Amino acid sequence: MVAANSERMVHRQIERRGVRDPRVLAAMRKVEREAFLPEAMREFAYEDTALPIEEGQTMSQPFIVARMAEAARISSGDRVLEVGAGSGYAAAVLGELAARVYAIERHAALAALAQSRLRSLGYRNVDVRVGDGTLGWPEAAPFDAIIASAGGPRVPEALRRQLATGGRLIMPVGDTRNRQRLLRIMRTGEESFQQETLEEVMFVPLIGAEGWDADGGDRGPPRRGDLPPSAPRSLPMMIAEVTQALPDLRDPAFADFFDRFGDRRVVLLGEASHGTSEFYRARAAITRRLIERHGFGIVAVEADWPDAAALDRYVRQLPASDGNRQVFRRFPTWMWRNREVDAFLRWMRDYNAPYLEEKKIGFYGLDIYSLSDSIEAVLGYLERSDPEAARIARERYGCLTPWQRDPSVYGRAVLSQRYRECEAAVVATLTDLLSRRLTYAAEDNERFFDAVQNARLVASAERYYRIMYYGGAEGWNLRDRHMFDTLVRLLEHRGPGSKAVVWAHNSHIGDARFTDLGRMRDELNLGQLCRERFGDQAATIGFGTHAGTVAAAQDWGEPMEVMEVRPSRHDSIERQFHDGGVGRGALLLNGITGKLREHLQAERLERFIGVIYRPETELQSHYANVELSGQFDAYVWFDRTTAVSPLPASPTSDGPDTWPFGV
């Protein structure tokens, strides 16, 4: 497993980004990253990100380790100095490439831990000591290569002097603590050096006598040639210049910006979390505008079909189909049972009131989770329409009975091969329904469509929960394909010229081809599939925030909490908007040009919070690299946001829960 993970990491994260040196690639494959991580972080060892380690420090992203090693052009007989040993991981990689490695670390506990790990793994050619890395290791000089794993305001003079003639020094240098250029400096003579800039980077600050001080100050004047002659306009400044300010959410003019998408067939509205009030209210305002002025008739959301169908009957003023069954009773209840959604549903109901049935706006669920409810819906429809067919369907669905209430356990049936019988049975029920389309649809086309969709969902869910047992991208892909297929069938069902608004998480509606989800994990998503199917007739609109509160749980199935959202990371997309002073605004991404487009085509971290939020491992759990300009057509920004207001999730003592019909 370790070898497979390592091979995957090297191929996807390193080779694909242009590292070609075969010795560097071999070293990256060989060194086991998890061996240098704290126990709690080992599950993230082969993720494409920097990781926290002991003493509040970080382990560099694998690509950066490989990129710097390749830039240093290390030969097998070289002596190498590493400044900032950290966990010892990069020193081990260098130990695979060089004859001797000298690594300096200013934290004594980290240095001891790194030396212990390296010794236990057999690296006898790597020495670690405690010291000020900006002063180098004079008694071991000169060095054929020096690599600094932290960024300073200038290249320390001590490191220049310890470089052998012909030696290469690789170091991030910048005029701020979190924005640098990666430099390669070659010593060409006693007093002569050649310098080239490799790329823009973001490293932790280099603390020391010739670096930054611990309080953030610069310890001395810059050396000529170390910094750019003048600072260009920053990315936050460029973003602020072109982002259109938006009025308050209660102002009807808030939706004016989104009129430009009124001619699209599908408009997909995202969210950076499943528990943020501003995202729900903004999507409601935009959707109202698209319905009222541009003829959109479908609201399709990242929710279970049977529960959303109950809400659809409410907004279209139809009687409840199954009595007082509580809807959205499954975790996470607050995602749709909240006051923001309730207000939008009431608006839809009022809007629909004067229209004939075929002109009313529908509310539909796209998701795949509701196995039990969908089985009940299919059987309920058949009991009313064709009792004999219901009897047969009940027998066929019997194989799923033990797992209906906890379908994730269904994957274990794979081990006994019983799933093959279930797969055939659930598909047979769907086939029977479709074969009798004309007979059933003539009686009640809407109820027939609902029954067929539930049967499709059972078939998809059977596969989904079976695949989920093994993990990987296939389960995600099946879920998003199901959502896409459901959307397409809704458009077909509502007829030519029908138009849909989709509410789903950014991870579903932002084109996966421009994110780590697609490039590194082979995942596709709803936004990508819509672009491939509808082309320019699909618009994807993402949402983001810097900080505030969010409704979320600490783990699956645990109670909802109102949690503080940490301020966005300095190297994230969100921080660029925050640093630009954008309070509330929208950026049209497919219209940007020049330097701003170049910046937004570069990879940066973006935050994804679902129904679970783990602030203590936020980087590993909630951030992924994206190219914002390709991911979305527009991006909506709220600098500070608040948690949704959940409705009660269970019946009160006064009677049954009949939301939304009885509230």
Kindly provide the residue ranges of all beta strands, DSSP E only, lying in 411-557, ordered along the sequence.
500-503, 538-552
Task: Provide the token pair at 443.
Answer: 């009686």
Distance of alpha carbon 276 from its chain centroid, rounded?
16
Active site residue 653: no
Q: Residue 572: beta bridge partners?
A: 605
Q: What is the helix (H) or strand (E) element at residue 97, kind and residue range?
A: helix 89-97
Q: Which residues of 436-462 are buried (b: 16+ CB within 10 A; e: fewer)?
A: eeeebeeeeebbbbbbbbbbbbbbbbb
Nearest to 201 by CA among 182, 225, 175: 182
Q: Which residues of 119-138 are buried (b: 16+ CB within 10 A; e: fewer)?
A: eeeebebbbbeebbbbbbbe
Contacts of 125 (CB under 8 A, 6+ apart): 95, 98, 99, 100, 101
- Which three-class secondary structure state does DSSP give residue 143? strand
Residue 312, Cβ neighbours under 10 Å: how many?
23
Q: What is the CA radius of gyration of the chain?
A: 29
Task: Provide the token pair at 53.
Answer: 């380690």
Q: From CA 375, how far away is CA 400, in angstroms rounded?
A: 9
Strands 163-176 and 500-503: unpaired
- For residue 587, give Cα distances in angstroms to 223, 590, 627, 629, 634: 39, 9, 14, 10, 6
Contact (Cβ atoms closer than 8 angstroms) between residue 128 and residue 118 = yes
Q: Residue 212: beta bridge partners?
A: 207, 218
Q: From CA 461, how far away is CA 471, in angstroms rounded?
A: 15
Q: What is the helix (H) or strand (E) element at residue 163, kind and residue range?
A: strand 163-176
Q: What single-letter DSSP state applies at residue 555?
A: S
Catalytic residue among 6, 60, 460, 507: 60
Residue 543, Cβ neighbours under 10 Å: how many?
25
Q: What single-letter DSSP state applies at residue 283?
A: H
- For residue 358, give Cα distances in angstroms to 69, 297, 345: 65, 10, 18
Establish whether the linkage from the previous residue to 332 is cis, with ω within 30° of 0: yes
Q: Which sign does the torsion angle of CA 71, 72, 73, 76 carry?
A: negative
Q: From CA 381, how far away is CA 662, in angstroms rounded?
A: 24
- Which three-class secondary structure state does DSSP give residue 155? coil
Q: Which residues of 274-303 are buried (b: 16+ CB within 10 A; e: fewer)?
A: bbbbbbbbbbbbbbbbbbeebebbbbbbbb
Q: From CA 229, how far away is CA 222, in angstroms rounded?
A: 11
Contacts of 224 (CB under 8 A, 6+ apart): none
- For residue 207, give Cα distances in angstroms to 54, 83, 221, 226, 433: 17, 11, 15, 17, 70
Nearest to 582 by CA among 240, 202, 172: 240
Active-site amino acid positions: 60
